[in-house]
Amino acid sequence: MSDEATVRGEVRAKTLEPSDAPRAKAEPSDVAPRVGAEAYVASLEPADPADDASSAPQPLTSRLPGFYAEPVATRLRRLVAFGVLSEDAARQLERGGLSLEVADAMSENVVSVHALPLGVGLNFRVNERDVIVPMAVEEPSVIAAASNAARMVRLSGGFFGEATEAVMTAQVQLDDVPDAAEAPARVESHRATLLAAADAAAPSMVRRGGGARDLEVRVIDADEGLVVVHFHVAVGDAMGANVVDAIAEAVAPQVAAILGGRARLRILTNLPLRRMVKVRCKVGAGAVGGAEVADGIARASRFAEKDPFRAVTHNKGIMNGLDAAALALGQDWRAIEAGAHAFAALSGHYGPLAVWRRTESGLAGELEMPLAVATVGGATGVHPGVRAGLELLGHPDARELAVILGAVGLASNLAALRALAGEGIQRGHMRLHARKRGLDGGGR
């Protein structure tokens, strides 16, 4: 069984039913949602038959009642009608987003294209802008749960956040450095020269406004002469791995000449502490199902702060939604995961990436984590489906994209904690499992 923040029971009725299957009467959007397996379905109004993708462009809203009940082709046409998806992008998605020819150029020993369902997270309002978030994931409740939680948060104004400048860190590691304890002072006297050498290794990045911003020296083990020099490099809208690695390799001989010893590893770290995102939101007690549920969410968050066994599952719930969006948008989700969990353990005690506190009116949530994402380079330039996803989001820059992904993670966390504070995860999961039996031959 997969865990957390998929909120097993909060799945849309569309999962394995024909598009014209009868639907239960939905509740108005301002009614407090029920806690339990049918919460998400009950929160959606029927599709408006007056909606017509052939009409004039509609004002963008991520609040799309009844979207789950429409045929796939109609959903895609609605996105085109909003003007957030071009006809060309829609055609690419209709064809699966990635041809075998492009796949063969992207990877090695390619024999096929392995597809995942691509859905959209709805109801998100981030920094006062509605966004429809592409999410690639095999489990429908990940998207349903994030969308449902975003609807609750929307009633209190949505998500707000900021990301720091996109600064990645290169490590130059040295062994056998003599008088290692004095290494920081020796490097400091050559600071300007070393930063200039770093910039010289990445002239195109410097021309775009990036380049070396700072450096620092860490003495890992003075007795062994183990020293590492960090070069902090602004990489703009790129993920930055290639440019940072190139800088590390270029400056290593000069660092070794200054410190003595032997240069060893020269590579980025996937714990980019100068590339952080913070996202926060408020949600009313009535929106999550009442004061008792709000109390339960706050208690569950506190449990994660005190117990690493709970914290890792709490964080997995965040990453359920964040990873799904990152995958749909061509991001290095493996690096994102590595950095997230390293940050969670940075204090020496593994803890939660997001916390929830009880307020007079409901709950306040905040997520903080390192998050290196890109809107240029890598898959963003060659994968048609990824380009369509960025188009759907309105072509954000890397910092805005980090905030959006952080909002998806925080929404997923809220959804999971709300389910746990109510009927629990397992009951809904078994209903979802039963829906899938028609496809997997009767269960495992």
From first to last of its 444 residues, what are the pLDDT tens digits of the chain?
444 433 433 334 333 332 333 333 333 333 333 333 333 333 333 334 344 444 455 678 999 999 989 999 999 999 999 899 999 999 999 988 888 889 889 899 989 888 899 999 999 999 999 999 999 999 879 999 999 999 999 999 999 999 999 999 999 999 999 999 999 999 999 999 999 999 999 999 999 999 999 999 999 999 999 999 999 999 999 999 999 999 999 999 999 999 999 999 999 999 999 999 999 999 999 999 999 999 999 999 999 999 999 999 999 999 999 999 999 999 999 999 999 999 999 999 999 999 999 999 999 999 999 999 999 998 888 899 999 999 999 999 999 999 999 999 999 999 999 999 886 665 655 555 555 666 665 544
Q: How many separate domains does the chain show?
A: 2
Q: Is 55 within the bounds of a domain?
A: yes
Q: Is 19 within the bounds of a domain?
A: no
Q: Are residues 52 and 184 in the same domain?
A: no
SS3 366: strand
Q: Are residues 424 and 284 in the same domain?
A: yes
Q: In this predicted structure, what is the pLDDT of residue 431?
A: 59
Which residues does residue 214 pair with via DSSP β-bridges, in sequence order? 232
Cα dihedral 48, 49, 52, 55, rounded to 10, equals -80
Q: In this predicted structure, what is the pLDDT of residue 395?
A: 96
Structural domain of residue 181, as residue ranges?
Answer: 167-268
Q: Which of 215, 246, 268 is the endpoint of a domain? A: 268
Q: Is 228 within the bounds of a domain?
A: yes
Residue that is written with structure tokens 């048609």 in the block: 384
Distance between CA atoms of 177 and 439, rounded to whole angstroms? 61
What one-character-per-residue DSSP string does 38-98 give?
THHHHT-PPPPTT--TTSSPPPP-S--TTGGGS-HHHHHHHHHHHTSS-HHHHHHHHTTS-
Q: Are residues 103 and 203 in the same domain?
A: no
Q: Is 237 within the bounds of a domain?
A: yes
Q: Choose, from 10, 130, 323, 332, the residue flagged as catalytic.
A: 332
Which residues does residue 120 pair with via DSSP β-bridges, in sequence order? 134
Is 332 known to be catalytic? yes
Q: Alpha helices, DSSP H only, in 95-240?
A: 100-106, 140-154, 183-188, 191-200, 203-207
Q: Choose, from 232, 314, 383, 429, the residue flagged as catalytic.
A: 429
**Contact criterion met (CB below 8 Å) for 261 and 175:** yes
Q: What is the CATH number of the domain that holds 182?
A: 3.30.70.420
Q: Is 432 within the bounds of a domain?
A: yes
**Contact criterion met (CB below 8 Å) for 237 and 133:** no
Q: Choose, from 4, 10, 130, 139, the residue flagged as catalytic.
A: 139
Is 316 known to be catalytic? yes
Q: Are residues 369 and 308 in the same domain?
A: yes
CA-based nearest residue to 314, from 282, 353, 362: 353
Q: Are residues 395 and 415 in the same domain?
A: yes
Q: Are residues 286 and 368 in the same domain?
A: yes
209: left (phi > 0), else alpha (psi -120 to 50), else beta? left
Q: Is 150 within the bounds of a domain?
A: yes
* Cβ within 8 Å of residue 308, ≥6 positions away: 349, 350, 351
Can you read off the two tokens belonging to residue 397?
């820059």
Q: Choose, from 14, 314, 316, 341, the residue flagged as catalytic.
A: 316
Q: Is 43 within the bounds of a domain?
A: yes
Q: Are residues 305 and 391 in the same domain?
A: yes
**What is the DSSP code (8-state) at residue 25?**
P
Q: In this predicted structure, what is the pLDDT of residue 60?
A: 84
Q: Which of 214, 249, 268 is the endpoint of a domain? A: 268
Quickly count: other Cβ atoms within 10 Å of residue 137's Cβ. 22
Q: Are residues 226 and 288 in the same domain?
A: no
Q: Are residues 251 and 216 in the same domain?
A: yes
pTM, 2 dp: 0.85
Q: What is the CATH number of the domain that holds 65?
A: 3.90.770.10
Q: Which of 245, 268, 291 is the endpoint of a domain? A: 268
Q: Are residues 280 and 364 in the same domain?
A: yes
What one-character-per-residue DSSP string does 239-306 give?
--HHHHHHHHHHHHHHHHHHH-SEEEEEEE-S--TTSEEEEEEEEEHHHHTSHHHHHHHHHHHHHHHH
Q: Are residues 171 and 212 in the same domain?
A: yes
Residues shown for the chain: 444
Task: Compute CA distances 351 → 74, 341, 345, 346, whole Å.
Answer: 43, 9, 6, 9
Q: Are residues 89 and 136 in the same domain?
A: yes
Can you read off the two tokens belonging to residue 260?
């003595």
Q: Is 12 within the bounds of a domain?
A: no
